[in-house]
Chain A
Amino acid sequence: MHRMQMFPATGRGAAMRMLMNSGRTYKQGEQLYYKESPEYSEQTSLCFINPIDLFKLEIEEGGNVEIETATGTTVFRTVASYDLVPGEIFLPCGPYANFILPPCTHSTGAPDFKTLEVEIRPTERERVSAWDLLETEGGLRYDLPSEGCPTRSPEGDKTVTDVLCPLCGCVCDDIELKIRDNRIVSCENGCLLCSAKFLAKNRLISPIRKTAAGWKKISYEEAIRYTADVLVEAERPLLFGWSGTYGEAQCIGVSIAELIGGVIDNCSSECHGPSIMAIQEVGHPGCTLGQVKNRADVVIYWGSNPIASHPRHMSRYSTYTDGFFLDNSFMNRTVIVFDVRKTETAKIADEFVRIKSGGDYAVFSALRAIIQGKGDVIPETVAGVKKEELVRIAGIMLQAKFGTFFTGIGLTQSRGKYKNVRNAIELVDELNRHTKYTLTPMRGHWNVYGTNQTFTYMTGYPYAVDFAHGVAYYNPGETSAIDMLSRKEVDACIIIGSDPGAHFPRACNEHLATIPTIVIDPFPVMSTAIATVHIPVAMTGVDAEGAAYRMDAVPLWMKKVMEPTQPNDASVLRRLYDAINERKRTSEMTANNAVIIDSAGPVNSEMMHVPLSDGKIVEPGRADDWER
């Protein structure tokens, strides 16, 4: 079916051109481990819009709109919000926003999740489900009823304290879990995102393979053999994800990439990779979150909305927490938020500076000049902010005894990408001539910083590492996942600990759906739809353990609270590594194997001609022999 025909234009009010920003919402975050549910579709197909624009479109709140870009069109439900300025809309990140997102990254690795021009018009048509979108992209839905949760508690019912939360970059370490009948039944201290993840039980039990007749269960053996075969044959394999798994598994991943001459990339390439590129240019004036907690009297969130993305960040490390060197911390800390919309965080901040979408770079430059005493060159307004306002805010910044910047994906995913962060660091540099300032990127996934740490100590580079020539080469924009997929150069892909099906631009998923794609994840995810094989694993922090790095690079040990009945990421990868080695030893590249690559067709179920084993299906959940 031609993509555009799926959504014919209808409507009453005139179409309007607007600027689109997409990002995290609390409700979207809560549904991250329930992506197969209608609620996930509901929460990611909303369009937040100023009532003035609703009026112009001649629709009521709750009415549907079609949003169109050069890449595609899809239907959203409107939600009125005064937090946005007229002319700008906000979409929760997920498959809907990404369905219309062009894959262009301006050769930086991160696409324009923010500041994207779109056309919006009212429509009578209904929204489709997230699975529908994935099927339009060439996938096959996986909506079989869940077979439950494979965890075991040999000690019986218990309460576990000081558990680490495997969700966001805060990696809170004070979670209390109650376990009854081999399942987690309650989660204390964590935020809602944390409970949602710990209480999620809709795990995938057995490896599955896509066939012309639908999903079919296969054994772990078969899944590994298939994956090894695919990787050995591939000329441009990509191993993507890694931020949802622990350091030990990431290290094996790097070894696999080296063994197969592949590219290994992690989620930073689309989130905080630009922050790292900036750090490579001008350094990282960082500190641990403990320093911020105990010392910072000015806290600046720039392009970050922790209430939605890192819900306990403010209470554990900044705004609301007691500081050892700071009397009456709550009263004596000044919180400043810079953003394009009045986020939940902006509403509780002491100062909120609204910047025109895409104007951050100019504002950083202006602040730097003002702090140098060269405010005379600055024009009356900069990106929608009045000069007096900037002068006043610069004054507050300079008053700080210890100030800190937390920078979010509002900077890394908008126009200018890493140059925004670079300019932020240069501002910190300027402020450090007067007082003490630091900057910490608000890393998203619990172990996304870990990927940068492990990749760097193994390869010298933090992400987007290309081993095609046997040595590590790094160049985001060239060797980063979104760019490689949109150029269709990848001919086999492993996705682990990430969900590009939900978070990559549509063109990338369309390509993944034509090549052998293997997903390694505890849950059925959106990427399952575009995969040929999905291998379920134990979930880190519940029935698997390993090292993670918090957003300030402090390494922490993610404990397990129960025993697994499934292999963990590291054991699957180790088996894969061995299988690839074995395969390389025993067989030269034979013409017969080249078939795998040749058969790239529109549906990747056609790509399953890999010689399979006896086809014996291992009883789901029986993986005991793995660990030995």
Chain B
Amino acid sequence: MMHVILEVKKQKNPHIPIEAEEIIPENFVNPGKELSIWRGNRQVPLEEIFDIQIEGTASSAMEIEVVITGGSGRIKRVGEYMEAGTIRIEGDIGMHCGNFMSGGSIEIKGNADAWLGREMRGGTITCHGNAGDYCGSGYRGEKRGMRGGTIEVFGNAGDFTAETLTGGTIIVHGNVGDLSGAEMKGGILTIHGNASRVCGNMTGGTCTVYGTVTDMLPTFRKGDTQERNDTGIALTEFTGDVANRGHGRLIVHSFTRA
């Protein structure tokens, strides 16, 4: 087992974004490999941003745990394209954490910025704080977003959560922002708190809201199952989005109309 501890150094200008797509467990299998990351428009060696400590050895990414500590809230793309192993983030993490990941796991103790697990294919992301906008979403103009894996957020998630969700599971224990589940095509979105205008233009998949949906869209048809009792919470099932000729399932506890 190998532990790679990356402690973020104090930055001269802490606002400049850092893009660190090379921080994935695979890249530490050979500890001699030179890694570089971007600070704004400057490509710098990993050591310039982090104090690096490596304990133990590993023969494959699966045996590697990368731990990021310190002020990592502006560091983007950590875990992008990762396939195996573990990344643990002790604080907050910047945008695009776990983009396109297909295996392994990421655990975030603090908050995650926007586009957490964008276009994810597999693996798991656990965020103990809040997630930003576009959690588990797609990219601009893209028809399909997340296709597999699991994202679990214990806090709230932002607007457009699970936009174009096509496969996999997203669970948010808090509330989600506006227009979450927009253009959902498949997969499972579960929201334990409240939401607004969920699942606009959805065509497939299942979204369950255990709280209240405000400004519920007018184009969802009440399904055969009018009421059901699941985990003690009364739920009403809808299908839609009718406007989009969709057959998604939207199950909500209560709702208000715009």
Contact = CB atoms under 8 A, between A and B. Distances in A.
Interface of A: 106-107, 234-237, 260-262, 277, 280-281, 356, 358-359, 361-362, 364-366, 368-369, 372, 374, 377-379, 381-384, 415-416, 419, 422-423, 426, 467-469, 474-478, 487-489, 491, 597-598, 600
Interface residues on B, range: 35 or more
Contact of A106 (B13, B178, B220): B178
B218 interface: yes
B200 A235 contact: no
6 contacts: A237-B41, A281-B143, A369-B218, A382-B257, A426-B243, A478-B95
A374 B41 contact: no
Given A107-B133, A488-B15, A416 B178 contact: yes
Nearest to A279: B141
Given A107-B134, A419-B200, A489 B243 contact: no
Interface string B148-163: 0000000000111000
Contact of A366 (B12, B42, B177, B219): B219
A361 B42 CA distance: 42
B133 A491 contact: no
B147 interface: no
A379 B257 contact: yes
B217 A235 contact: no
B241 interface: yes
A426 B41 contact: no
Contacts of A374: 219, 242
Interface of A is mostly: loop
Contacts of B114: 107, 477-478
A361 B159 contact: no
Given A106-B178, A362-B197, A419-B200, A369 B40 contact: no
Interface of B: 12-13, 15-17, 19, 38-43, 74, 95, 114-115, 132-134, 139-141, 143, 158-160, 177-179, 182, 197, 200-201, 215, 217-221, 240-245, 257-258
From A236, A280, A383, A469, residue with most partner B Cβ within 10 Å: A236
B258 A356 contact: yes
A280 B140 contact: yes
Contact of A361 (B38, B43, B177, B217): B217
Contact of B159 (A107, A356, A372): A107
Nearest to B133: A107
Interface of B is mostly: loop
A491 B16 contact: yes
B38 A476 contact: no
A267 to B, nearest CB: 19
Contacts of B12: 597-598
A362 B19 CA distance: 38
A426 B201 contact: yes
Contacts of A261: 40-41
B141 A362 contact: no
Nearest to A511: B15
Contacts of A378: 218-219
A106 B159 contact: yes
B141 A368 contact: no
Contact of A365 (B132, B139, B141, B243): B243
A106 B200 contact: no
A364 B243 CA distance: 9
B175 to A, nearest CB: 15
Q: Which 9 A-B pairs have the closest CB atoms?
A: A261-B41, A235-B40, A280-B141, A107-B133, A368-B243, A236-B40, A488-B15, A365-B243, A468-B41
A386 to B, nearest CB: 12
B39 A235 contact: yes
Contacts of B244: 368, 426
Contact of B245 (A235, A362, A372, A467): A372
B160 A106 contact: yes
A369 B39 contact: no
Given A106-B177, A365-B241, A382 B17 contact: no
A566 to B, nearest CB: 31
B218 A366 contact: yes
A422 B160 CA distance: 14
A600 B14 CA distance: 12
Contact of A377 (B42, B139, B242): B242
A55 B257 CA distance: 29
A221 B159 CA distance: 47
Contacts of B179: 361, 416, 419
Contacts of B143: 281
A236 B16 contact: yes
Contact of B215 (A260, A262, A362, A598): A362
Contact of A419 (B38, B42, B141, B182): B182
